[in-house]
């Protein structure tokens, strides 16, 4: 193997740095610096809780500590689960990925990396009991980094294999990196904590969806929908109690501690920001209202869909009319080996695959998000055989315009005639009022009538019984 120019440059750079007689960069590790730091944080006056000057026992521990320099020393005081909002106690922490994982070790450079044996899973990888200061002052929660900058030090591909950083720089993303200081901590429990008005508290920090003391990998694979991934356990959510179609739902806030005993659904986490529990930004869909299973039609997030007799051929293999889906099936990274979760995507609405929310005529492709579950050949390919297209009720063999012809020949995109999440008063997620689109729609047992903006009112008959 020949050394590359880049490799030689790196070796030269490192060699020159080594020769400079390096001194450790610990700006606050002086007596005066520690005094300043401690005075700002919650451990002020607590020196003797962790250190001893006079050796009270036969054992002598590093840094004149009262016990070994590890988590058991922190546990002496931090022994009440959930007291601070996100630390659920020793037992749960030990089963989390950060404690039991392969190598949760702070990699540096600021503060310096942890290199001692047994560093894996130590509280000190993310917290400094004395506090840590950045340009904006003391970092809250005695953490050594502020908000996402702490998490992304590891979760940028190395040392943690989950590369969240590459999704958070994409054009469409949750606003993790956009603001700072809005997240008040894991005890946020009021609708206004996440509301857009009157004070804009909209935020989505890592800790709003993940509890680093509890989160763990889904060792047995992704749990079936609607269950929440174990990577999101220990985080607060809102439980929805639905009323009739179109009626405002009611909510119950559930603290993070509740996720460990009760069945937990992923959408409950999303509803913290994307439902009328909080004050949403103008124009944003109230997803609790749209996904209400009492609606005439809805995507099957909270309950299986209403139309149970759709033929299996109408779906992509793996999906059926009785399938449940989760928000994360459509919203997430556009890369296949990226971590799950709607961190960011190259596509608008943080969709995994492209989709244009416009009814203007365009040729849809098989890569668009709708066809991740709904068969492209059935709904958009007029060249597919009658037998294939017959899986849609609106593809009657012999009729000249069905689903496939509308989409594949007339360039009518799904958006022109269908809403995405749910609709209280119309079947089949039919959308009205869009231009081009459907002005009115009515249904009979064997078919229906559609009055669109594109042509005169047309009756149709269905392909197989509803």
Partner 1 sequence: MMARGSLRSGWTAMGTLTTTLLVAGSADARTLRGTAELQYQNTEAANLSRPVESWTKLVRVDHDRRLPASLEFSSHFVFSEWTLARLPDRTRNFAGTLQLAHPYFGLLTSYRPAEVRDAHGFTTRQQELSLSGNVQKSGLPQLSGTWVRRHHTPDAGSPGFTSVARSLSAAYTRANTSLRAGYGDRYQAIQDAPNRRREDHFGLGSSTQLRIRRADVSLNYDFGQSRTSPGSSRSQVSRTHTAGVSSGLQISERTSSSLSYSFRHTKTVARSASRSDEHVGAFSLAHRPSPGIEVSGGGGVRNAMINGLIETERYVTAGATAEGEARPGWRLGAGAGHSVNWLPGQPGRPMDSFRSDTRMRLAPGLEANGNLLISTSRSLAGAPGRTGPGREFSLQTGAGINAHPLRTLSMDGTVSRYGAGPSLVRVGSSSTTHAGNLRLRPSSKLQLNGGWGRTSSQGSTGTSRQGSIQWSPNRSIQISGNYSRGRQESRGTAARATSGQESWSGSVVMALTRDLTGTFRYTESNPGQVSHVRQVNATLVQRFGR
Which residues ranging from 211 to 270 are in contact with partner 1 (CB under 8 A)?
Answer: 239, 241-243, 246-253, 261-263
Work out how close the CB of 250 gets to partner 1 at its nearest, in angstroms, rounded to a whole number. 4
| From 140, 159, 293, 339, residue interacting with partner 1 (rule: CB under 8 A) | 159
Residue 64 binding partner 1, by CB under 8 A: no
Q: 89 with 96: CB under 8 angstroms?
A: no
**Which residues between 335 and 354 bind partner 1 (CB under 8 A)?**
335-337, 346, 348, 354
Task: State the Cα–Cα distance between residues 342 and 167, nearest whole angstrom.
Answer: 9
Distances (CA, A) of 232 to 172, 224, 365: 21, 15, 33
Q: What share of the chain is helix, strand, coil (3-state, %, to 5)?
A: 25, 10, 60
Residue 60 binding partner 1, by CB under 8 A: no
Give the x-and-dash track for 99-118 against partner 1 (CB under 8 A).
---xx-x-xxxx-xx-xxxx
Work out how close the CB of 294 gets to partner 1 at its nearest, in angstroms, rounded to a whole number. 10
Of the candidate spans 198-206, 228-236, 393-401, 457-465, the one that interacts with partner 1 by CB under 8 A turns out to be 198-206
Q: 235 with 208: CB under 8 angstroms?
A: yes
Residue 119 binding partner 1, by CB under 8 A: yes
Residue 180 binding partner 1, by CB under 8 A: no
Residue 137 binding partner 1, by CB under 8 A: no
**Which residues between 429 and 458 bind partner 1 (CB under 8 A)?**
433-434
CA torsion sign for 225, 327, 153, 35 is negative
**Which residues between 364 and 383 bind partner 1 (CB under 8 A)?**
367
Work out how close the CB of 434 gets to partner 1 at its nearest, in angstroms, rounded to a whole number. 8
Residue 10 binding partner 1, by CB under 8 A: yes
For residue 435 the two structure tokens come to: 């231009």
Residue 169 binding partner 1, by CB under 8 A: yes
Residue 20 binding partner 1, by CB under 8 A: yes
Work out how close the CB of 384 gets to partner 1 at its nearest, in angstroms, rounded to a whole number. 21
Residue 56 binding partner 1, by CB under 8 A: no
Total residues in contact with partner 1, by rule CB under 8 A:
90
Q: 232 with 209: CB under 8 angstroms?
A: yes
Work out how close the CB of 215 gets to partner 1 at its nearest, in angstroms, rounded to a whole number. 18
Number of H helices, E strands in the chain: 16, 11
Q: What are phi and psi of 148, to 5 degrees?
A: -65, -25
Which 3-state string (H, E, C) describes 247-296? CCCEEEEECHHHHHCCCCEHHHHHHHHHCCCCCCCCCCCCHHHHCCCCCC
Residue 287 binding partner 1, by CB under 8 A: yes
Return the beta strands (E) in 322-403 as ranges.
344-345
> Which residue, 233 or 419, has its beta carbon nearer to partner 1?
419
Work out how close the CB of 38 gets to partner 1 at its nearest, in angstroms, rounded to a whole number. 24
Work out how close the CB of 169 gets to partner 1 at its nearest, in angstroms, rounded to a whole number. 6
Q: How many CA atoms lie within 13 A of 150 on its CB side?
A: 23
21 contact partners, CB below 8 Å, separation of at least 6:
none
Work out how close the CB of 213 gets to partner 1 at its nearest, in angstroms, rounded to a whole number. 19
Q: Which residue do the tokens 């209403």 mark?
A: 306
Work out how close the CB of 232 gets to partner 1 at its nearest, in angstroms, rounded to a whole number. 20
Residue 308 binding partner 1, by CB under 8 A: no
> Which residue, 147 or 460, has its beta carbon nearer to partner 1?
147
Residue 120 binding partner 1, by CB under 8 A: yes
**Which residues between 25 and 54 bind partner 1 (CB under 8 A)?**
25
> Which residue, 346 or 401, has its beta carbon nearer to partner 1?
346
103 contact partners, CB below 8 Å, separation of at least 6:
120, 159
| From 34, 227, 279, 311, residue interacting with partner 1 (rule: CB under 8 A) | 279
Residue 187 binding partner 1, by CB under 8 A: no
Q: 163 with 242: CB under 8 angstroms?
A: no
Residue 14 binding partner 1, by CB under 8 A: yes
**Which residues between 318 and 337 bind partner 1 (CB under 8 A)?**
334-337
Task: State the Cα–Cα distance between residues 270 and 420, nearest whole angstrom.
Answer: 16
Q: 137: helix, coil or strand? A: strand
CB atoms within 10 A of CB 289: 22
Residue 411 binding partner 1, by CB under 8 A: no
CB atoms within 10 A of CB 191: 16
Residue 13 binding partner 1, by CB under 8 A: yes
370 contact partners, CB below 8 Å, separation of at least 6:
355, 364, 379, 414
Residue 90 binding partner 1, by CB under 8 A: no
Residue 286 binding partner 1, by CB under 8 A: yes
> Which residue, 50 or 290, has its beta carbon nearer to partner 1?
290
């Amino acid at each position: 193997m020949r050394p590359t120019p880049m490799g030689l440059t790196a070796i030269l750079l490192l060699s020159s740095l080594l020769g400079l007689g390096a001194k450790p960069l610990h700006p606050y590790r002086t007596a005066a610096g520690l005094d300043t730091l401690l005075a700002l944080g919650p451990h002020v006056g607590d020196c003797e809780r962790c250190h001893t000057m006079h050796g009270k026992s036969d054992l002598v521990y590093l840094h004149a500590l009262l016990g070994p320099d590890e988590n058991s020393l922190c546990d002496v005081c931090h022994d009440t689960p959930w007291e601070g909002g996100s630390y659920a106690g020793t037992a749960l922490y030990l089963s989390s990925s950060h404690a039991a994982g392969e190598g949760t070790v702070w990699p540096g450079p600021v503060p310096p990396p942890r290199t001692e044996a047994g560093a894996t899973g130590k509280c000190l990888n993310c917290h400094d009991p004395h506090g840590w200061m950045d340009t904006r002052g003391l970092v809250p929660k005695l953490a050594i980094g502020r908000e996402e900058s702490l998490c992304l030090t590891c979760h940028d591909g190395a040392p943690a294999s989950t590369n969240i950083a590459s999704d958070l720089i994409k054009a469409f993303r949750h606003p993790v990196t956009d603001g700072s200081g809005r997240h008040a901590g894991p005890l946020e429990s009021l609708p206004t904590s996440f509301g857009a008005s009157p004070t804009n508290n909209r935020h989505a920090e890592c800790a709003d969806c993940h509890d680093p003391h509890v989160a763990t990998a889904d060792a047995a694979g992704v749990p079936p929908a609607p269950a929440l991934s174990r990577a999101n356990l220990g985080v607060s959510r809102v439980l929805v109690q639905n009323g009739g179609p179109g009626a405002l739902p009611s909510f119950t806030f559930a603290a993070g501690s509740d996720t460990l005993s009760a069945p937990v659904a992923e959408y409950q986490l999303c509803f913290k920001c994307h439902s009328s529990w909080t004050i949403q930004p103008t124009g944003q869909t109230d997803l609790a209202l749209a996904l209400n299973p009492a609606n005439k039609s809805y995507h099957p997030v909270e309950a299986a869909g209403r139309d149970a007799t759709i033929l299996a051929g109408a779906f992509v293999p793996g999906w059926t009319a009785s399938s449940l889906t989760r928000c994360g099936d459509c919203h997430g990274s556009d890369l296949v080996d990226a971590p799950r979760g709607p961190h960011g995507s190259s596509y608008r609405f943080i969709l995994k695959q492209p989709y244009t929310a416009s009814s203007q005529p365009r040729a849809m492709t098989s890569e668009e998000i709708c066809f991740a579950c709904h068969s492209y050949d059935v709904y958009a390919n007029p060249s597919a055989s009658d037998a294939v297209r017959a899986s849609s009720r609106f593809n009657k063999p012999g009729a000249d315009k069905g689903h496939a012809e509308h989409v594949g020949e007339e360039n009518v995109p799904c958006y022109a005639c269908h809403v995405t999440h749910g609709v209280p008063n119309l079947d089949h997620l039919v959308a009205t009022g869009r231009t081009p689109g459907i002005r009115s729609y009515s249904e009979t047992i064997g078919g229906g009538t559609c009055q669109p903006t594109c042509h005169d009112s047309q009756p149709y008959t269905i392909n197989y019984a509803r």
